[in-house]
Amino acid sequence: MPAPLLEVEHLRVEFPGRRGRLVALDDVSFSIEPGEVLGVVGESGAGKSLTGASIIGLLDPPGRIAGGEIRFEGARIDNLPYEQMRRLRGRRIGAIFQDPLTSLDPLYTVGQQLVETIQTHLGLNAAEARRRAVRLLQETGIPAAEARLDQYPHQFSGGMRQRVVIALALAGEPRLIVADEPTTALDVSIQAQIIALLKRLCREHGAAVMLVTHDMGVIAETCDRVAVMYAGRIVEIGPVAAVIHAPAHPYTAGLMGSIPAMDEDRPRLLQIDGAMPRLNAIPPGCAFHPRCQRAFEPCTHARPELMTAGATRAACWLHAPALQAAA
Amino acid sequence: MTHPLVEVEGLAKTFDVSPPWLNRVAERKPRQFVHAVDDVAFTIGRGRTLALVGESGCGKSTVARLLVGLYAPTRGRVVFDGVDASGSARPAAIRRRMQMIFQDPYASLNPRWKVKDIVAEPLREHGFAAGEGGASQRRIAERVGELLVSVGLTDADADKFPHQFSGGQRQRISIARALATQPEFLVCDEPTSALDVSVQAQVLNIMKDLQVRHGLTYLFISHNLAVVRHVSDEVGVMYLGRIVELADKALLFSRPRHPYTRMLLDAIPDIHMSGRSRTPVQGEVPNPLNPPSGCSFNPRCPHANERCRIERPKLLAIDGVRVACHAVEERRV
């Protein structure tokens, strides 16, 4: 079996503060196979964007990786010096962010930004790089790509800008793309276009994707596997269909039930009472137990690790063979 | 027969976005206008919910602001309970009976005010506790406590500041403030768009409970069709300032007529992966400064013909729904 493209093991991210350290990510482990699309879903503050930022080495200080390893193509990348990481990022690992306006420089034309990226990472001369830039823009479905290359980001609409950002991410022919909420700022009709485009291009270019989003619909459409995060940890990970149709963790089940469905009528939505705990007040045991209707004795003091639960893996004592009788 | 609570007739709002006078003279630039809302008409019955959906820039928030009087209409009128309530000239008695909930709970609450002052402001403004002195202060404090409890917060939260609350809790404070004057009609402009799904579910449930308990009438603005399907009785779909389809919820979702409505429904990522084939619609919303002639959807519409490019379709009653589309009218789709 070939090695996974990306392996994250026991990742821990901390923010030192005046009143002690805040642990934003705690013992996060997962892997991404070549060409695979892994979705990472969760609510604001669950740590999904931090996971992406750790992988591309863009964790904002004072946040720092305090433990664990990130391996890319078998080699550790979490402790690389800045200059080496800079060469890897953009070349082997691409990134797409939520807001396409802030990820483009308003003072340079789209062409200058694309050509610069291509020249930096692929070492082509200016004419070749420009030809390649035109081809990339054409691939992302931008009409009149040759002429658009000399325009500035403000002359593009939101959807067109996100296409440019995707072209930029693909410029170095990366093996992995970390896409952080790539469609959240877009209208639904444009969102559908961008998702279809991202899926098609990554398949054509053979790039794996880590797709960070809060939208279960986008996950269902796009991903092979999905990791659900809660309070800095992965609570469930598995194939998309299994996680959506037979969620093993009560949080995943609650999350699925709280989404208004298009194909059924319910007078009330299922709701999870309360809110996700703050990082400085994560309860002992399972972080979800105060909100969990199925919580029982071990949940209040012992923290569950990911364990096999049907077709997925869930961090929940309900699935511990030795404890199932007690539940 | 009693009249509906809210009637909107031929409502239009035009914004002047012309360059400054000197530029117009020196650079010979013309005046420019955006027709943010054009010829919008609907009615909302007591205790019912009308949802307006559409993409950014379609004018749905402008309609909300026109209804509560934050903008004065360029043309047309808003009739509330039989009384003309267009613009800022509306009587105070009418203003008390309609309130608004805004999208961003971080921007719509004054960060320097305590929750009790935020929720009490409409009470003071509308003279709920007339007179000075301890008795009226106590009445207000009592009422604020009741309101906070009714949205799932506690009495003790009255002495906190907005920053001490999460987004969902802040939106509850907004709802409590809107309910302070016991309004009959609430205009909700994307009330859950800034919230996480589990929190969104909590807020939507509260809004439904309050509607049943107080017989509230809602105008619910959203871009999220799944949310709209959950909360509304009737749905109006807007595109570039006009309503293109207005129908009962069940009809609109089971049998969408307008090509734009179909496109919107098709664009929703399908969480249950029922294998529905999706065709992402090509193109984007045109620039509202320079809308296409005829039907404004014609450049993106697969059924557009010569007539669609020349003549603007009217909102006609067809098969129990109201739809503005030549192709539907001519039975081409």
- For chain B, what is the HEC assignment? CCCCCEEEEEEEEEEECCCCHHHHHHCCCCCCEEEEEEEEEEEECCCCEEEEECCCCCCHHHHHHHHHCCCCCCEEEEEECCEECCHHHCCHHHHHCEEEECCCCCCCCCCCCCHHHHHHHHHHHCCCCCCCCHHHHHHHHHHHHHHHHHCCCCHHHHHCCHHHCCHHHHHHHHHHHHHCCCCCEEEEECCCCCCCHHHHHHHHHHHHHHHHHHCCEEEEEECCHHHHHHHCCEEEEEECCEEEEEEEHHHHHHCCCCHHHHHHHHHCCCCCCCCCCCCCCCCCCCCCCCCCCCCCCHHHCCCCCHHHHHCCCCCEEECCEEECCHHHHCCCC
Task: Kindly state whether residues B155 and B214 are assigned to the same domain.
Answer: no
Which residue range is the domain that position A225 belongs to?
A: 6-229
Query: Minimal Cα–Cα distance from B244 to chain A, Å?
Result: 16
Interchain contact, B269 vs A215, CB within 8 Å:
yes
Calpha distance A255→A242 (Å, rounded): 14
Q: Which of A194, A210, A229 is at the close of a domain?
A: A229
In contact, B26 and B55? CB cutoff 8 Å: no
Kindly state whether B206 is in contact with chain A, defined as any CB-CB distance less than 8 angstroms: no
A260 touches chain B (CB under 8 A): yes
Indicate if B124 and B173 belong to the same structural domain: yes
How many angstroms away from the CA of B227 is the closest CA of chain A?
Answer: 6
Same domain, A57 and A150: yes
In a shared domain, residues A218 and A302:
no
Which residues constitute the domain of residue B151?
A: 111-179
Same structural domain, B187 and B157: no
Contact check, Cβ <8 Å, B197/A216: yes
Q: How far is CA A184 from the centre of its chain?
A: 13
Tell me how far CA of residue B268 lies from CA of A266, B162, B223, B224, B280, in angstroms: 19, 34, 11, 9, 10
* B284 Cα to chain A: minimum distance (Å): 7
Q: What is the pLDDT of residue B322?
A: 94
- Do B121 and B170 share a domain, yes or no? yes
Is residue B131 assigned to a domain? yes
Q: Which of A269, A273, A279, A293 to mutate to test the interface with B (most CBs of B within 10 A)?
A: A269
**Owner of token pair 């309503």:** B243
Q: Within a 13 Å sphere around the CA of A50, how many CA atoms are in the beta-carbon half?
A: 28
The answer to whether the Cβ–Cβ distance between B201 and A215 falls below 8 Å is no
Q: Please give the order of strands across the beta sheet that includes A93-96.
A: A93-96, A176-180, A208-213, A37-41, A225-230, A233-239, A312-314, A307-309
A291 and A224 within one domain: no
Total structural domains within chain B: 2
The answer to whether position B226 is within a domain reads: yes
Cα(A109)–Cα(A168) distance, integer angstroms:
13
- Positive or negative: CA dihedral B147, B152, B154, B159: negative
| Residue B52 domain-assigned (yes or no) | yes
**Cα(B140)–Cα(B136) distance, integer angstroms:** 6
Contact residues on chain A for B191, CB-CB shorter than 8 A: none
- Cα separation of A298 and A302, whole Å? 6
Residue A251 has pLDDT above 80, yes or no: yes
Residue B315 resides in a domain: no
* A213 → chain B, closest CA residue: B196
Do B196 and B264 fall within a single domain? yes
Residue A101 has pLDDT above 80, yes or no: no
Within this chain, do residues B190 and B264 fall inside the same structural domain, yes or no?
Answer: yes
Taking 70 as the pLDDT cut, the residues of chain B under it are: 1-2, 87-89, 129-133, 270-281
pLDDT for residue A324 is more than 70: no
Mean local confidence (pLDDT), A167-185: 90
Nearest CA distance, A253 vs chain B (angstrom): 11
Q: Given A217, A241, A260, which is nearest B269 (Cβ)? A: A217
Residue A79 lies in a domain: yes
pLDDT tier at A202, thresholds 50, 70, 90: confident
pLDDT value, residue A2: 67
Specify if B301 maps to a domain.
no
Residues A43 and A152 in one domain: yes
Question: Do A31 and A136 have their domain in common?
Answer: yes
Residues 44-63 of A with CB under 8 A from B: 44
- Same domain (yes/no): B130, B175: yes
Look at A19 and A227; give whichever has higher pLDDT. Answer: A227
Pair (A11, A148) in one structural domain:
yes
Angle between helices A188-205 and B259-267 (to 10 degrees): 50
- Same domain for A61 and A162, yes or no, is yes
Report if residue A279 sits inside a domain: no
Q: Is A247 contained in some domain?
A: no
Q: Which of B179, B202, B217 is the last residue of a domain?
A: B179
What's the rounded Cα separation, in Å, for the pair A49 and B8? 44
**Structural domain ending residue among the three candidates A229, A248, A270:** A229
Same domain, B64 and B23: yes
A188 to B200: CB separation less than 8 angstroms, yes or no: no
**Looking at beta carbons, which residues of chain B come within 8 Å of A220?**
269-273
pTM for the model? 0.84
A307 - beta bridge partners? A314
Pair (A65, A158) in one structural domain = yes
Q: Are B66 and B11 in contact (CB under 8 A)?
A: yes
Is the sign of the CA dihedral B182, B187, B192, B194 positive or negative? negative
Min Cα–Cα distance to chain B from A205, Å: 21
Regarding whether B188 and B173 lie in a shared domain, the answer is: no
CB-based contact A216 B271, cutoff 8 Å = yes
A223 and A289 assigned to the same domain: no
How many domains, in total, are found in chain A? Answer: 2
A108-113 long-range contacts (CB < 8 A, ≥24 apart) are A108/A152, A109/A149, A109/A150, A109/A151, A109/A152, A110/A137, A110/A148, A110/A149, A110/A150, A110/A151, A110/A152, A110/A153, A110/A156, A110/A164, A111/A149, A111/A150, A113/A164, A113/A168
The β-bridge partners of B321 are: B318
pLDDT 10s digits, B231-265: 999 999 999 999 999 999 999 999 999 999 998 88
Residue B55, chain A, CB below 8 Å: the answer is yes
Q: What was the pLDDT predicted at B331?
A: 87
Task: State whether B196 and A195 contact (CB < 8 Å).
Answer: no
Residue in A160, A189, A262 nearest the CB of B263 = A189
Within-domain flag for B28? yes
ipTM above 0.95, yes or no: no
Q: Determine, yes or no, domain membership for A269.
A: no
Mutation pick from B171, B190, B197 vs chain A, by most beta carbons of A within 10 Å, is B197
Do both A35 and A156 map to the same domain?
Answer: yes
CB A184 within 8 A of CB A215: yes
Q: Residue B22 maps to which CATH number?
A: 3.40.50.300
> Is residue A220 assigned to a domain?
yes
CB atoms B270 and A220 under 8 Å:
yes
Distance from CA of B208 to the nearest CA of A (A): 8
Output the pLDDT for position B131.
64
The token pair that represents A170 in the structure block = 């693909």
Distance CA A186, CA A92 (A): 27
Count of helix runs (H) and strand runs (E) in chain A: 10, 12
Instruction: Tell me, yes or no, whether A159 lies in a domain.
Output: yes
Residue B117 sits in the same domain as residue B156: yes
The whole-number pLDDT of residue A116 equals 93
- Smallest Cβ distance to A192: which of B56, B267, B285? B267
Same domain, B173 and B187: no
Q: Would residue B287 count as lying in a domain?
A: no
If you measure CA to CA, which chain B residue comes closest to A272? B198
Whether chain B has a CB inside 8 Å of the CB on A193: the answer is yes
> In terms of Cα–Cα distance, which of B147, B194, B153 is closest to A274?
B153
Cβ neighbours of B273 in A, within 8 Å: 220-221, 240-241, 244
- pLDDT higher at A132 or A45: A132
Q: B235 in a domain, yes or no?
A: yes
B48 and B77 within one domain: yes
Q: How far is CA B310 from the centre of its chain?
A: 30
Assess whether A199 and A317 both reside in one domain: no
Q: Are residues A74 and A219 in the same domain?
A: yes
